[in-house]
Structure 1
Amino acid sequence: MAFLSISGHFFNTNLFIFNIKYLTMVGLWPNDDWGCNKMYIYKAYEIILHILSVIFIIVTGIGTYNHKHNITILMTNLDKSLAAYNFVLKIFFFVLKRKQLKNLINEIRNSGDEVRPKRRYLMVIHVIMITLVSTIIVATFSMLSQLKGEMTLEAWMPFDPLKSRFSLLLAGQIIVVYFLVPCLYRAYAIQGIVCSIVMYLCDQLVELQQRLKSLSYSEEREGIVRDEFNEIIKKHVRIMRYSKIFTNIFKEFFLIQNLAVTIELCLNALMVTIIRFEEKTLLATFLGYLGLALINAYIFCYLGDELIIQSTGIAQAAYESGWTSWPVDMQKDLLIVMRAAQKPLTLSAGGITIMCIQTYSQALYNAYSIFAVLNDVVD
């Protein structure tokens, strides 16, 4: 109980504090209040991580090219490298839009909006769990590769990694240094802040629905009800603006996410048709990384679906309020709110599609269709 009390106080002192600290630790969120010396050191740390992620892409690209005649190794390497390419692209666009995101977060913090304690814990637990699960999966398959005397991921090394057990272990450690912090942890730090902001938007929309339903008009309380109604309208407009800014910042992020999952599904469908169930360890590797990719995709699509439901729920809440006894001018204002709420707030993936459960289901259906066609071709 004491731990919950202390941690509850920590998470309630500042909205998104855990996400910001995570981003800072992985070199993606410099503090504007730092002095020049500390800022220079942090910038150097950030640049080093950028360079490491680029080196990882280069050396794995060379490793993949060197095995272009072995279809199994080629596809396996592409499947594992895809995660890094996905993460690095997300990091690139995040850094480009970081200033806009900082302005949005500062505005949210200064708005006075509150988030339920349970939701704050969920924001933190989500980031911790997805980071732990990803680390365990990567570590497990890395150890399996070491035991089998194979490279975890085919990559160029300045020495022969298969020369001895020590060389293989050293090569595995180098890949981990290139991948975990520069790619994996940074990507999940970004995912944490993205999911937390969407949760915040959904919570504020739920609160607006409750406030609309609880409006009770009477002549004696007319002034109070009008003030409350005006505050609801102002907040609704503000939340819609936040959502628009947020979507503009992360539209490339969601587009990359959709493309990565689609390619991942296609690669796995192709590999399953080629290797069948003969190489169980290799198949388990594919399914492990695929499962992680699908979990991440589901999280984004679920939150996108929740944002659509809660934003359109404003119109239903407005209709369920006691508007029939309101003055005509308030009824007209309520009608404007209902019309605005009928256009849902969405998470756009580069303007091509939106993040929702329907998109997720369509991706799975397309993957199965590809698998069925490839299976017929192989047979």
Structure 2
Amino acid sequence: MCSASVSMYDRSYVKLDGQLRNIHYENDIHYTLQMCEWLLKLVGVWPLVNSHTRSKLQQVLSIVLMSTCFSSILFIVLPSFHYIFFVEKNTDMKVKLIGPFSFCFSSVIKYCYLGTKGHFFKRCIQHVRKDWKTVHDPNYRTIMLKYATVSRKLITVCASFLYSGVLLFHTVMQFLSKEKNAENNTFRPLAYPGYDSFLDTQSSPTYEIMFSVHCFTGMIMCSITMLAYSLAATFVTHICGQIQIQIARLHDLVESKLRKDLEPDLLSVIVHDHAEILRFSRNVEEALREVFFAQIIEATMNMCLLEYYCIMAWRNNDVVTVMTCATLLISFTFNVFIFCYVGEILSEQCRQIGEYSYKIRWYNLPAKNACDLILLISVSQYPPKLTAGKIIELSLDTFSSVTKTSLVYLNLLQTLTDW
């Protein structure tokens, strides 16, 4: 085999000469992790997952940011909980308030898990960095860049719907909704109730401060939710890129035999890297499974409530509320689809190793090498899976079940409120 191909496969060569094989690795890593890094820094979790953080100032800033974010969410959750379950007696109003409250409560849970799972995220990010540093063949780098671009596009679409929907809810909907204006034109609305018992929220500057805090907290909760999506999309698409590289190597395995320059250690390198991919997949699942579970439960509930809000607003001819709730409904539906889609594509891509091990012209390989492919075929029969709390397997079937369940809950909710 030509020397370029040998160095392409031999990862130990990279370690021995102490040189990085991908001279563009810094730009590639930045391109892959840029959106995750933005969100991690915004919610103060970046120093917990970045092994290169050594500055005391960054660590102190992280603590301040995490304390601010957590306190601002609790500032909404605690008064809203008291108001919904102990003060408000009207059933319709309770239903209307439970949706925003569930989003806030779920954000607290996800934020706690994201903070406590920092060492798992650090391990996953280090693995991504290592893969970018050691990739040498330009064709393989192109494959990785292709899947990095896919993850960025998925994150961008998710963010555009979620941020716009939450921003509309906290600002435009509060002032232009017919329901808000029908009660009292002098009343200045807030997105979350429960402060009247200890604050005069209608006076200035109290109202302006509360309104700003609610908008700020809404963006923080969006960022927490988007952080889970971005991590899942980035890690899974990176795994898909690595799988495609192994498939390309399997094809090269046969071509090298036809050229009579078969490298004895080539198959062992493929098996080794495949084992690394499976280990990375397990780390990703272990890091995100609790967040996945919280997100699936939240999405099922909120999809049901948003469908109900849209129906009620449509009956009242409230165009602003319909547009806001429809945007949020599309956002939650699309984001759950992304979670389930990345789970489906992870399992499907890992199965392809076994399929391509058989599809290649293995009969042109030496008998020993051909028999060794049985190992890859056997392992690929049990592909890694993303799960929500080790209870729900994330797949397109799960997305279908979540959608159907939200419609069932919608019918139940309409029956209860009408009754």
- TM > 0.5 fold call: yes
Comparing 134-143 with 292-301, greater Cα deviation is found at 134-143
User: Of residues 159, 162, 177 in structure 1, which corresponds to 2:216?
Assistant: 177
Partner of 2:129: 109
CA distance in 2, matches of 1:285, 1:21: 26
Partner of 2:61: 41
Work out whether residues 11 and 18 of structure 1, in 8 Å CA contact, stay in contact via their aligned partners in 2: no
Partner of 2:175: 146
Per the alignment, in what secondary structure is the counterpart of residue 16 of structure 1?
helix
Comparing 268-277 with 93-102, greater Cα deviation is found at 268-277
User: Of residues 104, 107, 111 in structure 2, which corresponds to 1:84?
Assistant: 104
Q: Does 1:57 align with 2:77?
A: yes
Question: 1:230-249, aligned counterparts within 5 Å?
Answer: 230-249=268-287
Per the alignment, in what secondary structure is the counterpart of residue 305 of structure 1?
helix
CA distance in 2, matches of 1:168, 1:43: 28
Partner of 2:378: 339
Work out whether residues 93 and 252 of structure 1, in 8 Å CA contact, stay in contact via their aligned partners in 2: yes
* Letter paired with 1:360: F
In the TM superposition, residue 129 of structure 1 has moved relative to its aligned partner by 4.1
**Cα distance change on mapping 1:200 and 1:86 into 2, 3 Å:** same
In the TM superposition, residue 104 of structure 1 has moved relative to its aligned partner by 2.4
Work out whether residues 175 and 189 of structure 2, in 8 Å CA contact, stay in contact via their aligned partners in 1: yes
Q: Does 1:156 align with 2:195?
A: yes
Provide structure 1 residue ranges, at least 5 long, that are not aligned to the other structure.
Answer: 1-7
Work out whether residues 158 and 226 of structure 2, in 8 Å CA contact, stay in contact via their aligned partners in 1: yes
Work out whether residues 166 and 222 of structure 2, in 8 Å CA contact, stay in contact via their aligned partners in 1: no
Question: 1:257-272, aligned counterparts within 5 Å?
Answer: 257-268=295-306
**Cα distance change on mapping 1:56 and 1:10 into 2, 3 Å:** farther
User: Of residues 29, 35, 46 in structure 2, which corresponds to 1:29?
Assistant: 46
Per the alignment, in what secondary structure is the counterpart of residue 382 of structure 2?
coil
Q: Does 1:287 align with 2:326?
A: yes
**Cα distance change on mapping 1:273 and 1:46 into 2, 3 Å:** closer
Q: Does 1:313 align with 2:329?
A: no
Work out whether residues 168 and 324 of structure 2, in 8 Å CA contact, stay in contact via their aligned partners in 1: no
Q: Percent identity?
A: 17
Q: Give the structure-1-normalised TM-score.
A: 0.86
* Letter paired with 2:88: K
Partner of 2:248: 210
In the TM superposition, residue 376 of structure 1 has moved relative to its aligned partner by 6.0
CA distance in 2, matches of 1:129, 1:268: 20
Work out whether residues 28 and 186 of structure 1, in 8 Å CA contact, stay in contact via their aligned partners in 2: no
In the TM superposition, residue 276 of structure 1 has moved relative to its aligned partner by 7.1
Q: Deviations over 1:24-80 (max 9, x none)?
A: 233111155333344223323322222222222113223423653122221121101
CA distance in 1, matches of 2:208, 2:75: 19
CA distance in 2, matches of 1:72, 1:169: 28
**Cα distance change on mapping 1:252 and 1:334 into 2, 3 Å:** same
CA distance in 1, matches of 2:258, 2:153: 47
Provide structure 2 residue ranges, at least 5 long, that are not aligned to the other structure.
Answer: 1-23, 136-140, 182-187
**Cα distance change on mapping 1:12 and 1:276 into 2, 3 Å:** closer
